[in-house]
Structures are given as C-alpha cells and as structure tokens.
Amino acid sequence: MKSDPAPQELTHEEALELYYYMRLNRSLDELLVRLFRQNKIVGGLYGSLGQEATSVGTAYALAEGDWIAPLIRNVGSLLVHGYKPRDIMTQYMARVTSPTQGKDGTCHFGDLKTHHVVSPISMLGDLIPVMTGVAMAGRYLGQKIVAMTWIGDGGTSTGAFHEGMNFAAVQRAPLVVVLENNQWAYSTPVNRQAPLRDFADRARAYGITSYTVDGNDLVAVLRIAREAVDSARQGHGPVLIEAKNMRMLGHAQHDPAEYVPREMFEYWKARDPLSRYENYLNQHKLWDEKEKAAIHARIERELAADLEFAENSPFPPPELAEEGVYCNGCHIIEAQWRRPKDELMPPKSSVKPEWTIENFGAMETGAAPAADRTQPQGSAVESAIVHATHTDRKRKITAPASRRAR
C-alpha cells in the first residue's frame, strides 16, 4: 500500500488547502475535547483523531454538486463540503444557532439544498441504500453526480450494508463507499468480526470494484478517491474503498479504550496522518515555514471567533420543540432537472418487454445453449470451479487531476 513516488501530484494551492482542512479537523477535535471536559458538550463526543486523512482525502475528490452522507467521525468531510467549525461546535453544544437548532447534540445534521449533505443514520449500514437512491435520482435527472458515504469495519457486518451494496451494484449506481477499517468496532477487533485480511473483499461478492489504501497517507487516499469518483461518474458502477487507519481514542470520550494494547497505539501514533502529510509537503517543497505559520494562525483565529459565537449562542426555547416535527409547507421539494423529460417518456424510453439472459445462467462462456441441448460426452465445460480465498483487486494508483480542472 505504498504511494507512488511521483514528485508533483498536487498543485501548490491544493497542497496547502488539504493541509488547512487536515489541521482544522485536528484542532477542532482537540477543542471539542476541552469543551467536553468543561461540561459544555451536551451528550457524547465522538472524535476522529487518527482518521483525518481518510475523511479529508475522500471528500476532496468530489466535485461541486456531489452528495455526501458522513458518519460521526467524518468531521473532515463536512469541513471540506462547506460547513464551518461553528456549525460543529453549536451542534455539540445544543445551541439554537446550530444546524438542527439545538435539537440534536451530535453531528446528526444535513442540508439538502446548499451543501448536499444527508444526515448520518445511527443504524449502521442504512446510509448505503439511501445514498444509492440519491445517486440513482441524480442520474435519472441528468445531474451527473456522484454520491459518497462512509462506514466502519463493524458496520459491514450489518444486513443493511450487504443489501445496499447489492442494490447499488445491480443498479450500477454512481456511488463511492468509503470503508474505514479503524481496527475496532467499539471494543471488538476486526479479526473477531470476520476472517478477512482486507474488508474490501466484501465488495467482490457483488461484482463491485474495490481498493485497499493506507488511510493515513492523505495523498494516496486522494489518488484512489479521485479514480473511484471518476469511474462512478463515467457510469461504471459503484466503488468501495477500504482505508486502513486507526481510531486513536475510545469509541467516545466516555470510553478509555483499555481493551486496546498500548503497543498498538504507539505503532499507529508513529504513522500519524498529519505528521506524514507535513513530511510530504517538506520533501516536495510545497510550502515553507511562513506558509505553515499562516495556516496555523488562520485556524487559530477562526476557531476563536467560532467558539465565541457558540458560547454566546442561546439554548433553544421550549416552544421550538414542537416545530419542525411535521412539514406543513415549511419547504418545497422539487426535482432539479438537468435533462429533457421526453428522454424518459415513450417512444425514446421504450424497451422490448423481455429480459436478455446471457448463457441462460449456465457455466459455458460461449453462445447461449439451446434449451433442449444435452451435455455432450467429453465437453470442455467445467463442472466445478475453485475460487481462491484471496484474489487480485484493483490497486492501480494514478496521478490525480487538478481540482480546478474538474
């Protein structure tokens, strides 16, 4: 899973912007931990320490108009997609100025109009069929969008994950699923969940292209994500990316993670994604100390201003509780067409009312057999095939196109 040694894979602007998002993600997480310990967070706090490169790198590969459905550790994807730190702070602090007006204390919020973000669903795996539907709707309307969602290694053990992946595969939906293998499903290690070396193998059951990438290598994650997004947008069907990283804290702030070997934390700490990306920028001379200091100063200013805003924001009034439960004309839902509607109406959409079944489902690889043909003596058709436990998956890594070119 080593990255290609290409000397110039990012423009100077992209390189600094990616660092800004990574550093902002880390600094925001650290600030939220302090707020939690000051008893200013309402409910639990779910951090993303050690997983920033996966969220930022995958979300950065998307284009304007694409859709995302993050989970609780994908704060980086929200920042890349246009949300501000104050949105995260006020949400965790349950203030009326938050995206949900203080009705939810975690990152369960979205925006269907501007940011194109579908709110996280606590029932793990359910976002995959939902985002398959979003991707199919975009294709139907001629929008040429890609939908992206994330799931943890533990979430792949749910029925909804498998049903959703199969649905996306059959419909060839323009969907990218990012499987974050952070080694732990709460307190269960991955090797106690499934006898798999790579969880990307789960995609093979549905004929879906899959990748395994070092989730702590931001540049490698971005390369793979851009290739996956481009493939999905071209109509080649869904793609699954397994990003191997490490959840460097417990499941939430209340969890001390005493079940994790200390040596494991030390192993992954030495592979910290932020430090690795800083080394990449230094090695490729993509920044200098002045630019680094300017980014740090910008983040410090933004977080200070947003924290002041959040702490001065009021809690929601009691009467707000009954608002927004049911929609009584509070917003309009209408299709955003990007293609002529007559393309979807007869005669242009007419098809012959019968299915084409290749080979009639037989094991032969040639033309479809006659319905009444019997197996001739000495036929070359195999009666059984042994499938190896591990087979080659797509691991090709290509240099990404410029963000401005998309």
Q: How many residues does the chain have?
A: 406
Question: Once rounded to an integer, what is the mean pLDDT over residues 200-212?
Answer: 94
Give the mean model confidence (pLDDT) for residues 306-323. 94
- Cβ-count burial of 366 within 10 angstroms (0-12 exposed, 13-18 middle, 19+ buried)? exposed
Mean pLDDT of the chain: 88
pLDDT at 349: 84
Q: Decide if 280 contacts 16 (C-beta within 8 A).
A: no
Residue 338: name the closest of 202, 178, 143 by CA: 143
pLDDT-based confidence at residue 66 (cuts at 50, 70, 90) = very high
* pLDDT tens digits along 337-366: 999 998 888 888 877 888 888 888 887 655
Residue 17: count other Cβ atoms within 10 Å of its Cβ: 17
Token couple for 173: 């939906």
Domain ranges of the chain: 12-332
In CATH terms, the fold of domain 12-332 is Rossmann fold (3.40.50)
CB 181 within 8 A of CB 153: yes
Q: Contact, 171 vs 153, CB < 8 A? A: no
pLDDT given at position 398:
40
Enumerate residues 6+ apart whose C-beta is below 8 A from 334: none
Helix (H) or strand (E) holding 180: strand 175-181
Tens digit of pLDDT for each residue in 137-168?
A: 999 999 999 999 999 999 999 999 999 999 99
What residue has token string 């932020």? 274
Mean pLDDT, residues 10-32 taken together: 97
Strand partners, 210: 240
Q: Decide: residue 291, CB within 10 A, 0-12 exposed, 13-18 middle, 19+ buried.
A: middle
Q: Residue 86, class by beta-carbon neighbours within 10 Å (0-12 exposed, 13-18 middle, 19+ buried)?
A: buried
Q: Which phi-psi region, left, alpha or beta, contains residue 39 (left: φ > 0; alpha: ψ -120 to 50)?
A: left
Helix ranges, 208-272 (H)? 218-233, 262-269
φ, ψ (nearest 5 deg) of residue 279: -65, -40
Neighbours of 141 (CB within 10 A): 16
- pLDDT tops 60 at residue 389: no
Spatial CA neighbour of 274 closest among 14, 102, 4, 25: 25
C-alpha distance across the termini of the chain, in Å:
26
Give the model confidence (pLDDT) of 288-309 as tens digits.
999 999 999 999 999 999 999 9
pTM confidence score: 0.87
Quote the tokens at residue 361: 């489902």
365-374: long-range contacts, CB 8 A cutoff, minimum separation 24: none
pLDDT at 385: 67
What is the mean predicted confidence (pLDDT) over 263-288?
A: 95
